[in-house]
Amino acid sequence: MVEPWVVIAAISLAFSIPVLLSSYYTMILFVSSLRYPRFLGNLIPSTDSSPLVSVLIASYNERFVIGRTLDVIRSLDYPEEKLQVVVSDDSTDYTRGVIDKKVEERQ
């Protein structure tokens, strides 16, 4: 027969290993967080280094939402000369007309 203290020791060891591992992981995260600057709000990326970005929109009979989608993309805080919007439209409704209207508003 197994001694009761052996059973208690095995159970306490089984429960203490996950607790110790999570404590170790928390300490590693804390120490590694000290290596990075706390306030990154002052670091504003320059617009010169912004990459060219293409936004691809696939639409099919989306005349009710395509206008709002284009408005949201236009309101992005990104340099306009570095942003290209491509709309793939094979619609059978008036989606093309809404897109053309938004392009005219932009110019």
pLDDT score at 69: 94
Closest among 77, 76, 70 to 100, alpha carbons compared: 70
- Which domain covers residue 96, as residue numbers? 47-106
Q: What is the pLDDT of residue 8?
A: 92
* Single pTM value for the model: 0.53
Q: How many residues does the chain have?
A: 107
Element (H, E) at 59: strand 53-59
Residue 58 lies in a domain: yes
Mean pLDDT by 10 residues, the chain (107 residues): 88 90 91 75 68 92 92 90 89 89 86
pLDDT of res. 57:
93
Residues 70 and 98: their CA atoms lie apart, in Å, by 10
Domain count, the chain: 1
Domain assignment present for 6: no
